[in-house]
Structures are given as structure tokens and as C-alpha cells.
Homo-oligomer: A and B are copies of this chain.
Amino acid sequence: VNPRSQRARPVREKLATEVRREQIVAAALALISERGPRGFSLAAVARHLGLVPSALYRHFRNKEEIIEAVLEFAGARLLANARAAEQESPDALEQLQSIALLHARFIRENHAIPHIVFSEVLAAGHPERKAQLARLVRAYLEAIADIVRRGQRDGVIRTDVDPASAAVLLLGLVQPAAFLWFISDGRFDVTRHVRNGWRLYEAAMLKD
């Protein structure tokens, strides 16, 4: 036996907590994306970073806290998408289309999201995790509804549609597409569906 291999992990790399926290969140997302919620174990996260499981406890109090950080990250990304879309064009309908496309891309590039949203991560977690997710989604839908209202004021969107319903329906442009993409192992073309669906959505919303 090689004597060097008997000394376990001879060179240890120490990184600051802020760096490790980000790495751990990224590893959690990657693992859920690749192997589903069950693939997200502390052992797997640690292995991904070249650490030992107990090392994670230097940066998070427990697994629950890691899930909290993952949700926070995903929520921030969705809201950032909404804000970015608002910058792109002054037209409310174009902003809505842009949000749908950015949302589709986000899920396509990071399909941990549907897993987290529906999965055991919530069921197993404390009720606070579910409440956190509810708050996050509500903020996102509120941002979309605001755009719809602005479009109604500007005279590009029919005034007889309920902004909240229109926001949920925009989610409906993306969510089933992401779902089909997921179960078809990537064969379903999300962007193509969102573009096709958008034409219907626009036709329904457009002021005559």
C-alpha cells in the first residue's frame, strides 16, 4: 500500500464561510437537477465539494437551513428576471413575453426548480419552508400583475381581464412546458411551445 494514501486528505483547503455557503447552495441545485430530490444528501453535497459531511455544519446549522438558502436563491433569480424584462421594452405585452421566455430558460437551465417546488423538500421540511415558497411566488405573481395593470392603463391590454388571473395564466404558459420537458428527458422544445402559446396568450389579452 502506498504510504501517502494512508494519510487521508493530506492537503486541506480552507475557504471562507461566505464562499462555502454559495458553493453548497450551488451543489444542492446541481444534485437535485441531476439526480432529483433524493440525490440531495449532505454526503453527496460534501463529496461534490471535496469535503466531509460534517464540514457542512461549519456553514449551516442543518439541512433545513440549506434548503432555505436554495429557495432564497431561486426566488431572487425569478424576481431579477421580472425586473430585467421591464427594462427591455416600455410595452407591457412585450415585457410579459420576455418574462415567460426568461422563466422558461431559467427552468431549462436549472430544472432543480420544479423538483424543489413540488417535492419532498417541502413535504419533509418544516411548515416555514412552504410558507417561504408561497411568499416568493406571491411576490413574483404580484410583479407580473403590476405589469398587466400598467398595460391596461396604457391601453394595450383589455381592461376586462383580472390582472391576478392573467399573471397565473402566464405561469401556465411556462409550467406545463417545463413539466413536459422534464418527463420527456429534454426532448420537448420548451421555447418553441412558449412562443406558440404566447401568440394565443397575446390574442386573448390584446385590446381590440
Q: Nearest residue in B to A172 (C-beta to C-beta)? A: B172
Contact A165 B118 (CB under 8 A): no
In the complex, the chain B residue whose C-beta lies closest to that of A114 is B118
Within 8 A of B (CB), among A150-205: 161-162, 165-166, 168-169, 171-177, 179-180, 182-185, 193, 196-197, 199-201, 203-205
A59 to chain B minimum Cβ distance, whole angstroms, is 25
Cβ–Cβ < 8 Å partners of A205 in chain B:
200
Of A3-11, A83-91, A122-130, which binds chain B?
A: A122-130
Stretch at the interface among A31-39, A49-57, A61-69: A31-39
Q: How many of A's residues come within 8 Å of B, CB to CB?
A: 46
Instruction: Answer whether residue A133 sits at the interface, using C-beta atoms and an 8 A cutoff.
Output: yes
B contact residues around A185 at 8 Å (CB): 130
Whole-angstrom distance between the alpha carbons of A204 and B175 in the complex? Answer: 19
User: Which A residues have a C-beta under 8 Å from some C-beta of B?
Assistant: 35-39, 114-115, 117-120, 122-124, 130, 133-134, 137, 161-162, 165-166, 168-169, 171-177, 179-180, 182-185, 193, 196-197, 199-201, 203-205
